């Protein structure tokens, strides 16, 4: 699948920044010759977990990492939007302040119809959820 387009990067940056995320775009670094593997990344410190979203440069998928306050990784998802990125970001933002060890399965289930595929990375490997 094609890499992220300008509209996708704008949606990522604007929607997440408006929701209180710390968003970093890497276009400026690339323009001065730095080699960067991400188009953009964003982090959010929620009440119960920390969230990190990444847009890799050459692949049209998103990585979502959910970590406990001590930094221990709870969940790592990799997904491609079925169509538009905005509904996926809206779903993540809608749960960003209530997400914890008990509620993260609700987020995963809500993302399945929006993604093709939705993959979960575990210690045993990468598995397809949709």
Domain count, the chain: 1
Reported as a single tens digit per residue, the pLDDT across 46-93 is 999 999 999 887 777 899 999 999 999 999 999 999 988 999 999 999
Judged on CB neighbours under 10 Å (0-12, 13-18, 19+), 53 is buried
Q: Is residue 1 part of a domain?
A: no
In a domain, residue 96? The reply is yes
pLDDT confidence of residue 1: 45
| Structural domain span for residue 48 | 6-128
Position 16 scores a pLDDT of: 95
The confidence score (pLDDT) of residue 28 equals 54
Dig out the tokens for 98 from the structure: 């209530």
How far apart, in whole angstroms, are the C-alpha atoms of residue 31 and residue 61?
23
As a whole-number percent, the residues of the chain with pLDDT over 90 amount to 65
């Amino acid at each position: 699948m094609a890499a992220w387009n300008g509209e996708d990067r704008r949606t990522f940056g604007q929607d997440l920044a408006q929701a209180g995320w710390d968003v970093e775009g890497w276009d400026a670094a690339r323009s001065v010759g730095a080699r960067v593997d991400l188009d953009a990344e964003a982090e959010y410190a929620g009440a119960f977990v920390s969230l990190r979203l990444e847009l890799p440069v050459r692949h049209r998928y998103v990585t979502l990492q959910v970590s406990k306050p001590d930094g221990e990784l709870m969940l790592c998802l990799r997904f491609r939007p079925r169509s538009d990125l905005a509904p996926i970001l809206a779903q993540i933002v809608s749960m960003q302040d209530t997400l914890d060890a008990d509620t993260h399965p609700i987020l995963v289930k809500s993302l399945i119809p929006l993604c093709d595929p939705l993959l979960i990375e575990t210690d045993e490997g990468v598995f397809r959820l949709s």
